[in-house]
Amino acid sequence: MPTLIDIHAASERIHDSIVFTPVTPALALRDLVPSALFLKLENLQRTGSFKDRGALNRLLDLTPAECRRGIVTASAGNHAQAVAYHGARLGIPVEVVMPEHTPLIKVANTRRFGAGVRFHGATLSDAMVEARRLETEEGRVLVHAFDDERVIAGQGTIGLELLEQLPALSAVVVPIGGGGLISGIAIAIKEQRSGVRVYGVEAAAAASALASRRAGHIVPLETSETIADGIAVKRVGERTFPLIERYVDDIVAVDEQQIASAVHLLLERQKVLAEGAGAAPLAAMVAALLPIDERDVVAIVVSGGNIDVNLVERIIDRGLVADGRLALLAVTVRDRPGQLARLTQLVAEAGANVLEVAHRRAFADISVRDVEIVMHLETRGRDHVAAVIALLERHGFHVGEAV
């Protein structure tokens, strides 16, 4: 079991090669949470996540003979990038096994950092089976993504920094996948200031730590798909679970919509790009799942920012729809010249912006003398949408929900 001494030693070892990430006040989110809130921005590490810390600490512990043999790891992306980058920097050959549906940005970056990449299975657990085969058959050193004492100690350096950066800290909220991050942070904090609460947040689709805590033993799960791919693991670690049980005050789970909304909030309000796992702690805070009040000083660990831009676009669009700032209206009009011009003029008078227009005749449930015009609008919010609809209906248009 890693100790506070191990974490301090890791801090000294990796200090010159990782980013001492800032803690910034989340002032733009203050209306959504009851406490003072700060963001620990691990997305600013060289490879875009906290994984730089644990990976580097593990690699620096290899013997010269082990370095020559090369290493193998299984990862859905962030650990792979960290091992690839620091392995190349230290001259260590790296082979990475990834699940087949790993986000493209993480695959591309891992290759760009110089590692060999192969795909195996649908989950991280499947990829680990192949990694262990390579360990045995090719003689490589296996560097586990989270269930390794030196990796845990490296991640724990975040806890040391938080206590230094926030003397008034009363709670820290951390994403949980395999448990390496929260285990290291919890040791570093609880062994120095036991009164600081440590909370873990999982994706509901992959909540092994929560299920294991309830059962009193490790419970493997059939992991569902989640946009928080960085914490989508089938089971919490053998080494990390006892540490979580000893040091972590509570664990909660957030659903996909809550995670997506948190990604959107961080990007739009705080100008922080976070992947799903990195946004999960904010999702729990906004949903009021944790016992936090106005007296608390809370830090959330934004664990990473490696997210596909296509996914970001979809999250933004859904967030705008949820806020009512994008609306899709189906307006029934007489199929006569000039009706579209009249309709768009009214929308313009209402202050909404028309993004797209489509006519439906054959497939709309309307009279053969009518046409359904589907309008994709940009608005100021739900009240504005209601005002647009009211104006159109006052002028004789029938407005329904587009399907």
- Annotated catalytic residue, options 49, 183, 208, 303: 303
CA–CA gap between residue 219 and residue 391 (Å, rounded): 56
> Is residue 18 helix, strand or coil?
coil
- Annotated catalytic residue, options 51, 75, 170, 190: 51
Tokens of 198: 């440590």
Would you tell me how many other CB atoms lie within 10 Å of the CB of residue 25? 12
Burial status of residue 387 (CB atoms within 10 A of its CB: 0-12, 13-18, 19 or more):
middle
402: enclosing H helix or E strand: none
Would you tell me how many other CB atoms lie within 10 Å of the CB of residue 291? 11
Q: Is 51 one of the catalytic residues?
A: yes
Q: Is 190 one of the catalytic residues?
A: no
User: Contact at 8 Å (CB) between 222 and 205?
Assistant: no
Would you tell me how many other CB atoms lie within 10 Å of the CB of residue 63? 9
φ and ψ at 177, to 5 degrees? -115, -95
CA–CA gap between residue 213 and residue 347 (Å, rounded): 54
Q: Which residues are catalytic?
A: 51, 303
